[in-house]
A and B are shown apart, each in its own frame.
Chain A
Amino acid sequence: MRAPVSDLPLTLADAKVRGGQTTILDVSLTFSAGPPTILIGPNGSGKTTLLRAAMGLIPVDGGRITWGGREVAPPDRRAIVFQRPVMLRRSAAGNLRYALAAADIPRAQHAARTAELLALVGLEPLADRPARRLSGGEQQRLALARALARDPDLLFLDEPTASLDPAATKQIEDLIATIAARGVKVVMSTHDLGQARRLAGDIVLMHRGRIVEQASAREFFAAPKTNEAHRFVAGELLV
């Protein structure tokens, strides 16, 4: 069983990720318990790189990252849903059982936890359907359930509604709100400003690998402080 320690707060201190000669990320940031933090910014601004580094999937070349004060921490209490999650070649329920086993949840609890997670994401009728045969929205919901199998206190979502229609997007947003209300810290990237308004507790605007502005959602949208934020909120293209 996992140790009952938290991965919060997550702190990135002068964390740098280099790609070849160029620094693609250089940020200092802390994620604490609370409502969702939404990362916004143009393509290539470093949102995905930040999520991956914060998850511990890519090493930092400078500075450091700590999870709950620990510098080296296996991903026990955090989980990530990628923009295009990979569905394992098994049923929807099979994907969840796999994630539960990976999280060292005792086998005796698998059936009950699987049913609970499928119910949470509204996929009980599709439990036995091959995961790869599910629609885009259903796959995304299954990916969320799979991430929750780890019982994370920190959940990273990389543009979870990027290729979904409004109905599927609404389902995912409702789900994210439910997950956040259960006390899971959600850190999520999006290109959709409306979505950021609907879900965010606070906003981090990124541009060219750096944090341009960080504020509560209310402040950010009502009175952006920087020129970039002002332009971004006004719908201008940041390039």
Chain B
Amino acid sequence: MSGDTSALQLVLTGDPVLFAIVRLSLIVSLTAVLLATLIGVPAGAALALTRFRGREAIIVALNAAMGLPPVVVGLAVFLLLSRSGPLGSFGLLFTPAAMVIAQTILVTPILAALARQTIEDYWVEYREELAAMDIGPAGRVATLIWDARFSLVTALLAGFGRAAAEVGAIIVVGGNIDGFTRTMTTAIALETSKGDLPLAIGLGIVLLGIVVAINALAWGARRAGERLAG
């Protein structure tokens, strides 16, 4: 039997090992994207609306941070969470929580930088209208985020893509422990090196399918939303 057929069988028969891995991957990446959204989008909006010394430097740093190497982030989080590190007492190293932290650090700059750019474009358009309506700073941020929501979906997708695809950070802080911190990407890396190609390919198919499905879903939601809200 070829590797591909076995991989498909694993997917189609709902292999419990494979689906436990898929489930953990989704929980980790979606949680990281949610946290990064809660931090990155308001931060990006605040940066778009304010002018202060050093703002340009922050924007450049933020844009650069979109390309943070995952293994370096993994290493930094590892040092923070390791027993002798400043946050070692929480005992988070090699747990899904550590993986969420690492991916949140990877994704937050992407969401903040893209939200900053999107919201700044809206701000140029809305500025005087909101001033004329006497909208305060918090109201401005909320209005701009809401009105830019369809554009921000693209930023969210970029963030999810980054989280779902990366392996470097989570393998360092999660340790790829079977049944506990093993995700699709770390499992693919491990199974490929072990020579278990069916599982690796099966996971690859599921990973691609999930990424495509989530993008299609977001695209559909965006189109429907635009039809309803203009």
Contacts and interface: CB of A to CB of B under 8 A. Distances in A.
Interface of A: 52, 55, 57, 74-76, 79-80, 82, 85-91, 98-99, 102-103, 129-133, 150
6 contacts: A79-B132, A88-B143, A91-B230, A102-B139, A130-B230, A132-B230
Interface string B201-230: 000000000000000000000000000111
Contact of B229 (A52, A74, A90): A90
B133 interface: yes
Contacts of B229: 89-91, 130
B19 interface: no
Nearest to A74: B134
Interface string B146-182: 1101100000000000000000000000000000000
Contact of B147 (A55, A89, A129): A89
A11 to B, nearest CB: 20
B75 to A, nearest CB: 42
Interface stretch (B83-91, B96-104, B121-129): B121-129
Contacts of B128: 52, 57, 82
B119 to A, nearest CB: 13
A74 B132 CA distance: 9
A57 B131 contact: yes
Interface of B: 125-126, 128-129, 131-135, 139, 143, 146-147, 149-150, 228-230
Q: What are the 5 A-B residue pairs with the smallest beta carbon separation, nearest first? A: A130-B230, A132-B230, A89-B147, A102-B133, A86-B129
A130 B125 CA distance: 18
A161 B182 CA distance: 64
Contacts of A90: 147, 229-230
A89 B125 contact: no
A217 B82 CA distance: 81
Contact of B132 (A57, A87, A88, A129): A57
B208 to A, nearest CB: 33
Contacts of B149: 89
Nearest to B227: A130
Contact of A131 (B125, B126, B150, B230): B230
A86 B130 CA distance: 9
B230 A76 contact: no
A75 B134 contact: yes
Nearest to B149: A89
Given A91-B229, A102-B139, A131-B230, A75 B146 contact: no
B115 to A, nearest CB: 16
A143 to B, nearest CB: 9
B134 A88 contact: no
Nearest to A88: B147
B125 A86 contact: yes
Nearest to A80: B132
Contacts of A79: 132
A158 B150 CA distance: 30
B227 to A, nearest CB: 8
B147 A76 contact: no
Given A82-B128, A130-B228, A131-B230, 5 more contacts: A52-B128, A55-B132, A86-B129, A89-B150, A90-B229
Nearest to B139: A102
A125 to B, nearest CB: 16
Contact of A76 (B134, B143, B146, B150): B134
B102 to A, nearest CB: 35
A75 B135 CA distance: 10
B162 to A, nearest CB: 27
B147 A75 contact: no
Contacts of A74: 134
Contacts of A130: 228-230
Contacts of B129: 82, 85-86
B222 to A, nearest CB: 12
Nearest to B148: A89
A99 B133 contact: yes
A85 to B, nearest CB: 7
Contacts of B147: 88-90
